[in-house]
Structure 1
Amino acid sequence: MADGPDIDELVGVEEPSFRHVLACVFGVQEHESRTYLVLLKHQGSTVAELATELDRDRSNVNRSLTTLLDKRLVERERRLLDPGGYVYQYTATPLPEAKEMMHRTLDEWVAQVHDAIDEFEPE
């Protein structure tokens, strides 16, 4: 094999964790990946409940959830409260579905990288 950077140098992590891979594949921050993983264990949580579980400010958790909603890793459902009003409950996309999304996204990216390599011509 030719001398050059190995894959660890290219991706920046020798043994990436699932959380790190999730962040890289979906273009989210590590704290957003952590929010997703906590929500997997606490399906149907509110922002306040997640803020307590994550030991983070509610506004930060809300921003993380907004990003995860955009990436289709979380769903939100409005629940009416008995005294009036409502609260949002969040549910994480099931892990098998999220893994499939990750595989599809990575496969598409790898195909684009191979195309870029194949199509490269020096000027």
Structure 2
Amino acid sequence: MRCEPHLKCTLKCALDSSCFEMNVYIELLKNSPIGVDKLAEILDKDKSTVYKALQNLLEKGYVTRDCRILRGGGYKYLYKPVPFGEFKKKVLKNIEEWVRQLTKYLEELEEMSRTKLLEVLESEKV
């Protein structure tokens, strides 16, 4: 599925995340801390799908989780986004890397075009 070009999709690309992971992140901004059950209910998705997205966001460093001990026994994880300063730093770092790689690629393309052009011009001399 392809996203419409807007800020959410730009962030999705910059963060190397899926559209659904961005939806999860946005819900965390609105409703945190929050558990998987409640988040799955809000997003109208299966808990395992939401859990997988949270795990990906956790591994990438965009989300943290706290363990809460339940009165009746057991525990529950509550998720929240990292502080905005950390998030911003990661986004800018990823975008800078993106620009660096894109610049390198464009330079390679430009060099290939020159080489091809020279081949054509030199073949015309013969």
| Residue equivalent to 1:66 | 55
Report the Cα distance in structure 1 between the residues aligned to 2:6 and 2:105, rounded to whole angstroms.
Answer: 27
Q: How does the TM-score come out when normalised to structure 2? A: 0.77
Q: Is 2:24 the counterpart of 1:24? A: no
Q: Contact conserved, 1:40 with 1:94, CA < 8 A, in 2?
A: no
Report the Cα distance in structure 2 between the residues aligned to 1:114 and 1:20, rounded to whole angstroms.
Answer: 21
Q: Structure 2: which 5+ runs fail to align?
A: 116-126
Shift of 1:109: 1.6
| Residue equivalent to 1:57 | 46
| Residue equivalent to 2:78 | 89
* Greater Cα radius of gyration, structure 1 or 2: 2
Of the structure 1 ranges 113-122 and 61-70, higher mean CA displacement relative to structure 2 is found in 113-122
Instruction: Return structure 1 stretches of 4+ with deviation > 4 angstroms.
Output: none
Q: Contact conserved, 1:46 with 1:87, CA < 8 A, in 2?
A: yes
Query: Which amino acid in the other structure matches residue 70 of structure 1?
Result: E
What do you get for the CA RMSD once the two structures are aligned? 2.1
Shift of 1:82: 1.0
Report the Cα distance in structure 1 between the residues aligned to 2:102 and 2:6, rounded to whole angstroms.
Answer: 23
Report the Cα distance in structure 2 between the residues aligned to 1:102 and 1:16, rounded to whole angstroms.
Answer: 17
**Number of residue equivalences:** 111
SS at the partner of 1:101?
helix
Higher helix content, 1 or 2: 2
SS at the partner of 1:48?
helix
